Chain A
Amino acid sequence: MEVQLIKIEKRNDVSRSIYFLTPVLAIFLTLFGGGIIFYILGFNPIEALKFFFITPISDLYGLSELLVKATPLCLIAIGLSFCFKSNNWNIGAEGQLIFGGIVGGGVALLFYNHDGFYVLPIIILSGAIGGMLFAMIPAILKTYFNTNEILVSLMLVYVAKLLLDYLVVGPWSNPEGFNFPETRQFSESARMPILFGGLRIHAGIFITLITVFLSWLILYKTYLGFQIKVSGLSLKTAKYAGYKGKTMIIIVFMISGACAGLAGVGEITGPIGQLHRNISPDYGFTAIIVAFLGRLNPVGIIFASLIVALTYLGAETAQIFLQVPKYTGQVFQGMILFFLLGSDYLLFFKIKFLGLKKNEL
């Protein structure tokens, strides 16, 4: 006789508490999965996870580093949430970050022997505009030529990387730099102010926090935010309501591009201080995970960015203490997204454990 132990039922409405609890479940499952991977690699899983997730933030310097990494991640993810909420798949934030960095860095190099309070704001603004313009390419191609935005935004990442490479090797390389692939150091007034002496945490965190607040305002308190959400839920409804679909696609791409550009400029004027080949350890791609983990919600994204930033730090620590490559961080990031998406199943379905009753046996 066949006995059914588990019964799966469709939920009638999505439970609010489960909606925000599944990310926590995903994080625990990732820790578990990570432990298994470390065990296979021949490490004591508990010890390895401790090196990965606790050692990096056990002192003040570590906490500051956590915020340094979370600052760009949170900023980019906030921008992406506008795109993802309205079903626009901008996955080229990495390219927009780099292009923003290039434009901002170019302006910073123009002012390399200038001092003045106006220098930094101009650089920041130009970086944001750079990212915005770069993001408009896939948006315009999507709206007017029906081109797939996923592929175009991604191809542009490679273009931006190669452009940066060309500039730092060629025309923008430091004239006194012995042909190293890097530009001059930016002047003092082109750098983000450091918040605490001896730590790397910089004023870019305020840009991120202000952006989070503004996006909350736009998403939940304005007509534009309402339009974005409606078109995400049903394109047909949005059309019926007469929303200008094309304009909105371009606007959400502009917002997310500007955020990525700001993140890029924050990196080069903050921790880096010049342009070189690797101005971003794939923040633009990782921010996609942050956006999902934070449920495309501004507050959720703040928490998610801290957790994902920890995987960067953990990978660095594990590289030193366990000699595993820094890419281990990416394995964890991929796993978080797997488990998060998988546990979304619980949002729409109830799993009932029926157990065995005596009369059934």
Chain B
Amino acid sequence: MSFDLNFIGILIGAIMASSVPLILAASGELITERSGVLNLGVEGMMIIGAISGFALMVVTDNLFFAVVGSMLSGLILSFIFGLLTQSLLTNHVATGLALTIFGIGMSAMIGKNFVGIPGKEFPLLFLDLKESIPFLGPIFFGHSIILYFAFGLPFLTNYFLKKTKTGLIIRAVGDSPTSASNQGINVTLVRYSCILYGGAMCGLAGAYLSLIYTPQWIENMTGGRGWIALALVVFATWSPIKVLIGALIFGGITILQLHMQAVGLRIPVQLLSALPYIMTIIVLVVISRDSRKIKLNTPTSLGQIFYKEK
């Protein structure tokens, strides 16, 4: 019995690991969207983060530089988005799409020389505790520091948005940029900051994939996770804690379908692989049905262009 319990513990640990990139990217995008900016470039920023992290790891042989570099690269890409949407007042949807297309192309261009290189082992914390405590050990211990950070992030984000002055300013900017501007808040600056923060988190999410989750570089390795992260923000109705719950559900589906493939059930592999995407659609439908609930939580100015007459 204790063996079975331990197996379930390992399974839960795996689910947690697979939800990390979703938590990071969705938490970052949540802050961006709370300030009224819809950045559809999550997938592009994640994949750029993945290749920059991996490339820096290979070149510098230093994981710290790799992680910081991946965040910087996500930030740089999101700066392009900020420049276009905030300073040149472009359409958020189209600009975000351009960012994703550009990011995927750029990542493959940079990654050309890094295909097939094995990754480096990322240090995991409390490995001895993981082995010695059954069931709870594999759940709570033996993870990378980024996982612990990711699981704390939604709570930090929640506190930040609800209890701090900066959080209040961000929400004010997202809900009514004109009134916020009249109160003397620099809307453009706030939005720039939120965009850059979102970009850095997406970069980190990508680095988690290429450095820890599947430590190697594969073209297109984000495989739509960026889009699922975007869906998660809607699913969570812009609440950070619900992002965590949603990410765990999707992590669960991913791990479940992998295990079902491994067990060799007579269900086509492709159907199982399609499950996370189909589930996303179903969940979106269920959440969005109640339009009042969505409207209540959506940042009122989401995706709208703000221009202050000088």
Contacts and interface: CB of A to CB of B under 8 A. Distances in A.
Label chain A's interface by main secondary structure. helix
Contacts of B271: 162, 166
B5 interface: no
Interface stretch (B11-19, B92-100, B143-151, B194-202): B92-100
Interface in A145-173: 145-148, 150-152, 154-156, 158-159, 162-163, 165-166, 169-170
Contacts of A338: 80, 84, 95, 98, 102
Interface in A1-50: 8, 10
Interface string B19-61: 0000000000000000000001000000000000000000000
Interface in B90-136: 90-91, 93-95, 97-99, 101-109, 112
Nearest to A137: B281
A146 B280 CA distance: 15
B101 A141 contact: no
A341 B280 contact: no
Contact of A152 (B80, B284, B291): B284
A330 B274 contact: no
B294 A146 contact: yes
A325 B274 contact: no
A91 interface: yes
Given A158-B224, A330-B105, A331-B102, A341 B289 contact: no
A170 B267 CA distance: 12
Given A327-B108, A341-B95, A159 B278 contact: yes
Given A146-B294, A285-B101, A330-B104, A342 B84 contact: yes
A333 B97 contact: no
A288 interface: yes
A89 interface: yes
Nearest to A327: B108
Nearest to A335: B102
A163 to B, nearest CB: 7
Contact of A155 (B97, B107, B277): B277
Nearest to A324: B109
Given A147-B288, A341-B91, A334 B274 contact: no
A297 interface: no
B264 interface: no
B189 interface: no
Contacts of A148: 231, 234, 284, 288
B109 A331 contact: yes
A325 B108 contact: yes
Category for how many chain A residues contact B: 35 or more
B4 interface: no
B291 A146 contact: yes
A328 interface: yes
B94 A292 contact: yes
Interface in B262-278: 268-271, 273-274, 277-278
B105 A156 contact: no
A159 B275 CA distance: 9
B89 interface: yes
B273 A162 contact: yes
Contacts of B289: 145-146
Category for how many chain B residues contact A: 35 or more
Contact of B274 (A141, A146, A163, A288): A163
Label chain B's interface by main secondary structure. helix
A158 B284 contact: no
Nearest to A338: B98
Contacts of A331: 102, 105-106, 109
Interface string A113-154: 000000000000000000000000000010001111011101
Contacts of B284: 141, 147-148, 151-152
Given A145-B285, A158-B277, A331-B109, A341 B99 contact: no
A150 B40 contact: yes
Contacts of A89: 93
A348 to B, nearest CB: 7
B98 A337 contact: yes
A101 B268 CA distance: 21
A226 to B, nearest CB: 23
A329 to B, nearest CB: 7
B270 A163 contact: yes
Interface of B: 40, 80, 83-84, 88-91, 93-95, 97-99, 101-109, 112, 219, 224, 227, 230-231, 234, 268-271, 273-274, 277-278, 280-281, 284-285, 288-289, 291, 294, 309-310
Given A159-B278, A166-B268, 13 more contacts: A151-B281, A151-B284, A155-B224, A155-B277, A156-B277, A286-B101, A289-B101, A327-B104, A330-B101, A331-B105, A331-B106, A334-B102, A341-B95
27 contacts: A10-B309, A89-B93, A91-B97, A146-B289, A146-B291, A150-B40, A151-B227, A151-B234, A151-B281, A155-B277, A155-B280, A158-B277, A159-B274, A285-B97, A288-B94, A327-B108, A330-B101, A332-B105, A334-B98, A334-B102, A335-B102, A337-B98, A337-B101, A338-B95, A341-B94, A345-B88, A345-B90
List of 7 A-B pairs having minimum Cβ-Cβ separation, nearest first: A334-B102, A330-B105, A327-B108, A337-B98, A166-B270, A331-B105, A341-B90
